[in-house]
A = this chain, B = another copy of it.
Amino acid sequence: MQENYNVEELMELADSRQFRKLKDMLMEFNEVDIAAFIEALDSEKTVVVFRMLPKGLASDVFACLEVEKQEHIINSMTDHELGTIVEDLFVDDAVDMLEELPASVVKRVLRNATPDTRKLINQFLNYPENSAGSIMTAEYVGLKKNMTVMQAFDYIRLHGVDKETIYTCYVMDATRRLEGVVTVKDLLMNPYEVAIGDIMDTHVIKAVTTEDQEDVADSFRKYGLLSLPVVDHEERLVGIVTVDDVVDVMEQEATEDFEKMAAMIPSEKPYLKTSVFQLAKNRIMWLLVLMISSMVTGGILARYESAFAVIPLLVTFIPMLTDTGGNAGSQSSTMIIRGMAVGEIVTKDFFRVIFKELKVAIIVGVILGIVNYIRLIILYPGQEMLCLTVMLSLLITVIVAKTIGGVLPIAAKVFHMDPAIMAAPLITTIVDAVSLIIYFRLACKLLGL
């Protein structure tokens, strides 16, 4: 990794206002690292350092900054400077920024963009959130079928420099309908006089603007793509999605699943940037729902008050029973939810999953039951029926828990709900109630209560 630059040294130069020397050193770095350095500066130095970057680099660095810094820099720029930055940004970066900025700043940004850029940005802002349209960029190389390889190279040399990816070129007819793709590799590997139409690949993997970004990510994963063309409902090419944006999407989707599976509403921003109130808001809803559900479990306990009034010892096995049941169920639901998220498990695998979980549950349940029985028979000699009750309850609980954990995520999918909500917290609550009913029923039967 490029960790050989000395942040302290740069900071010292900034503090002692040796800006010329600082500039020379910064020029050696990648835009991502320059942005990370600027993030750490105070607001006055941010503007000074940013202004000394050369024009082209400035917009690259700008795209890497956090939205708060971007807002700060925008507010300190002249309209002319702002216009230059906006024109230099890739459309998808500009859209990302505008989605986060306050309305007044957005207005100023759009006012300073050229009409063409403004039109493009507005168009992108109108695609539904998390759709292919919302993450695409309009910067791609478009070719025609009757061009030769040589003409294609000339075209790329002339127009390609600010295209986000030039390695896949898109061949369109006069109405912008997508006809095929040709990679720069294809161009390099064919004689200069060959026509594009003869070497292009007409079996194009593509997405429609309104398609969900998760499906887009699936295509990248499945086919190992670097970019994917996005077409409208009339099959006309409107943009491309590039792999770097898809990497972000995949990461974001995984994070959302982690949050949902831990009973939270996914947050828009990273943890450290999310306010305390927003965090509390994201968490309280599910906590309330689950708290009220667990009162049902309390109600079940209340029904068996007479049982543990006679044998108070019964109560002490409750945490072991409900925790183990909850854990066993969460293991299963986590495997199934993740398997569905990466496309490995589909709804038609329902019965395979159930049988698999049943078999695993029996193996695991028997081992846990035996360990428990041995422990209890040593601790409470002579109380064989009590030990048997606990062991059997545990075995049945594990089997029921793993079945519930396997069934519910797939069932959720069938009913068009998000499988991720059928995760540990909800499974635990359900399994709690079920395991207590099993336990006390068995206890009443076997211990004659």
Mark A residues whose CB is within 8 Å of B.
1-2, 28-30, 32, 153, 156-157, 160-161, 166-167, 184-185, 188-189, 203-207, 211, 215, 219-226, 243-244, 246-248, 250-251, 254-255, 257-259, 261-264, 270-272, 276-277, 279-280, 283-284, 286-288, 290-291, 294-295, 297-299, 301-302, 305, 308-309, 312-313, 315-320, 322-324, 326-328, 330-331, 333-339, 342, 344-345, 349, 352, 356, 359-360, 363-364, 367-368, 371-372, 375, 424-425, 428-429, 432, 436
Which residues of chain B come closer than 8 Å to A364, judged between CB atoms? 280, 283-284, 287
In the bound complex, CA of A368 to CA of B333 (Å): 27
How distant is A123 from chain B, measured CB to nearest CB, in Å?
Answer: 23
Residues in B neighbouring A189, C-beta threshold 8 A: 157, 160-161
Q: Are A316 and B298 in touch, CB under 8 angstroms?
A: yes
Q: Which B-chain residue is minimally distant from A27 (CB atoms)?
A: B203
In the complex the two chains form, is A323's CB within 8 Å of B290's CB?
A: yes
Residues of B within 8 A of A320 (CB): 291, 294-295, 297-298
The 8 A-B pairs at the shortest CB distance, nearest first, are namely A262-B334, A224-B244, A297-B319, A280-B363, A298-B316, A294-B323, A254-B254, A294-B320
Q: Is the interface of A mostly helix, strand, loop or mixed?
A: helix
Min CB–CB distance A17 → chain B (angstroms): 25
Tell me whether A344 and B272 are in contact (CB under 8 A).
yes
**A221 lies within 8 A of B259 (CB):** no
Among residues of B, the one whose C-beta sits closest to the C-beta of A429 is B323
Task: Tell me the bound Cα distance from A339 to B342 in angstroms.
Answer: 21
